[in-house]
A and B are shown apart, each in its own frame.
Chain A
Amino acid sequence: MTQLGNDEILKAVNLKKYFRIGKDKKGPIFVRAVDGVNFSIKYGETLGLVGESGSGKSTIAYTVVGMYRPTSGQILFKGQNIGMEAVRRPLSLKKEIQIVFQDPSSSLNPEQTVEQILSLPLRLHTRTPKRQFKEKMVELLEKVELPSDYLYKLPLSIGGGEKQMVAIARALASNPSLIVLDEPTSALDVSIQAKVINKLMNLQKELNLTYLFITHDLSLERNVASRIVIMYLGKICEVADAATFFEKPLHPYTQMLISSVPVITEEEEKLKPKKIVSIGEIGSPVNPPSGCSFHPRCPYRMPICSEVDPEMIEVSPGHIVRCHLFSRPEKTDSKGV
């Protein structure tokens, strides 16, 4: 039975989520969205999850929050096993874990006013009496710096950034401990993104929140996350704290991703690893390549890479890589760290 460290609010142990999409002669066909993932989130930190499409990052978010049930493996939240769909979870758990989706135009009911949107979590999760609802809502709006007359507005008369603020206010309404943010600013412009991110960071300090922050924008993740996990085709490639992740990326995929980021200053250019032009398409999570799933696109691939899936190796405290380049010397002919 896995234990949570004292400072861990969430822990995933060998988490797998497969989606069955049919079958052929050999048996059922699965999309291996999440394929054996181990990570933990500490109280008060922001764990960044990055990857491209098919990486499984959104699936992990949705499994944590209860949209999916794990195929196997465990998720522990404050010691409890939460590996089940939201409908089966106790209300007290639903209160604790909230999610902010990417597109506020579809995550807010277009036929409900802000007042109605906020009243749901207030009604379910707090003991606020009905006559104090409006007050509470104005408080929530103030927390996200929206004026009180927004209560009667419909989402269509609110701008994108402000809609996302409403979504954040909704998430805060139940006083959660953990908020999952799935690309919360990808649909927003850069200047509005800055506002929203700043607000999120301030709220985190003010309310002692823990964030699971998912994005494909590496520059954003650099400034938001304290630790970063990068995924490819359902498996973790590398885990490191934010500074190390960008200053000393070890996994070839990490290097490839960072080197593709368009930057705007010379300083950042120098920081980027040598340009690795990505070859070919992203692999398919239905039929992932054998051995290390990244090997077809890897400029450093060795014969062993197409045969054996590498193990997760802790190269230095807190810095974990899954790559044969860093395997223990007694196991393979490695290139060394």
Chain B
Amino acid sequence: MRNLSGGQSNSPIAVNLARPKSLFWTNLGRNWYKFSRNPLSIIGLVIVLVIIISAIFAPWIAPYPEQAGPFVDFENAGQPPSLQHLCGTDNMGRDIFSRIVFAFRGALIMAIVVLALAVPPGVLLGLIAGYFQGGWIDTVIMRITDIFLAVPPLILALAVASVLEPNLMNAMIAVTLMWWPWYTRLLYGTASSIKNEYFVIAAELTGAGKFHIIFREILPNCLSPIFTKIALDVGWVILIGASLSFVGLGQQPPTPALGQMVSDGARYMPIFWWMTIFPALAIVLILLGFNLMGDGIRDMLERGMG
């Protein structure tokens, strides 16, 4: 045992107490083990990676990148799936597969922006309402949250979109506005139960201020449900985004958007089935991938036995 007596800062202690770096890699291994217990999670992860890589490298992956923009070729319109056009062509002669790959971009951007904008305020409000549970702050915050949750999501989005111009940016704003309350509710439940744990009481008894309690004691214990929900939400945001573009709000042509592609192709059913089915399957694939991966993330973040 060392003998300390008013030591100086260049004592040997500084050297020995450097945070061990290998801890991160050990944890990565353990986290992967927990994630991969269920093979479905790995399938989900693969799907998600495929989607992300396709979105990033769309110009190189799509066989006809120029057809994802302003392009018409009426001679080739309505071609069924073949080796040249894996998903066929649409009514304007554009390759559907290429358009789907490019549509991933808009979908992912929407998910990222919406969640980046909705999660922080939602979490903050939920934490505060949960910590001050029972008081007026709780009531004010949660009743406002309830109002937002009470409006049917699509109606809210349509209302917002009708006020603003229909484009991707405004679609994102609309979806953000209906998304934050879910995080507030999640955090409200989590925070109000954690605040009764003994470690929070111990911090209060020793004199910690409210900021410390909320952000240093309670919040770190809420991270697993938050990240799990974010992973699962990506798919759902994209779905709502597709619903908006289905009715013409959101990404405007000629930029491809999955919902709009489904809507465009719908009137050609059932003869030209590929025009609707493939974009729809793409939406299903996205949702499936993120849901399966989200389950894996939840398994990974769950506190349990190693």
Contact = CB atoms under 8 A, between A and B. Distances in A.
Direct contact of A and B (CB under 8 A): yes
A138 B2 contact: yes
A66 B208 contact: no
Given A101-B198, A109-B220, 8 more contacts: A66-B205, A120-B208, A125-B206, A131-B9, A134-B14, A138-B2, A148-B2, A149-B17
Interface of B: 1-2, 4, 7, 9, 11, 13-14, 16-17, 19-20, 23, 197-208, 212, 216-217, 220-221, 223, 303
B2 A142 contact: yes
Size bin of chain A's contact surface: 35 or more
Interface of A: 65-67, 86-87, 91, 94-95, 98-99, 101, 103, 106-112, 116, 120-121, 124-125, 131-132, 134-135, 138-139, 142, 148-149, 151-152, 156, 170, 174
A120 B217 CA distance: 11
A142 B221 CA distance: 29
6 contacts: A94-B207, A101-B198, A110-B221, A111-B223, A148-B16, A170-B202
A224 B205 CA distance: 25
A143 to B, nearest CB: 11
A124 B197 contact: no
Nearest to A86: B205
Contacts of B200: 109
List the 9 closest pairs (A to B, CB-CB), nearest first. Answer: A111-B220, A107-B198, A109-B199, A94-B207, A106-B198, A86-B205, A124-B207, A101-B198, A91-B207
Contacts of B23: 152
A101 B197 CA distance: 11
A112 B220 contact: yes
Contact of A152 (B11, B19, B199, B208): B19
A106 B1 CA distance: 30
Contacts of B207: 86, 91, 94-95, 124-125
Contact of B205 (A99, A106, A138): A99
B206 A120 contact: yes
A138 B4 contact: yes
Contacts of B303: 110, 156
Main secondary structure of the interface of A (DSSP, over half): helix
Contacts, number: 83
B24 to A, nearest CB: 11
A152 B16 CA distance: 12
B220 A134 contact: no
A107 B16 CA distance: 28
Contact of A151 (B17, B199, B205, B216): B17
A89 to B, nearest CB: 8
A121 B303 CA distance: 27
* Residue with the highest number of chain A CB atoms closer than 10 Å, among B19, B20, B204, B207: B207
A99 B205 CA distance: 9
B199 A139 contact: no
B2 A106 contact: no
A124 B221 contact: no
B222 to A, nearest CB: 9
* Residue with the highest number of chain A CB atoms closer than 10 Å, among B14, B20, B202, B217: B202
Given A134-B17, A152-B19, A152-B23, A108 B208 contact: no
B255 to A, nearest CB: 43
A150 to B, nearest CB: 11
A123 to B, nearest CB: 9
Given A103-B198, A109-B217, A148-B16, A124 B206 contact: yes
Contacts of B2: 138, 142, 148
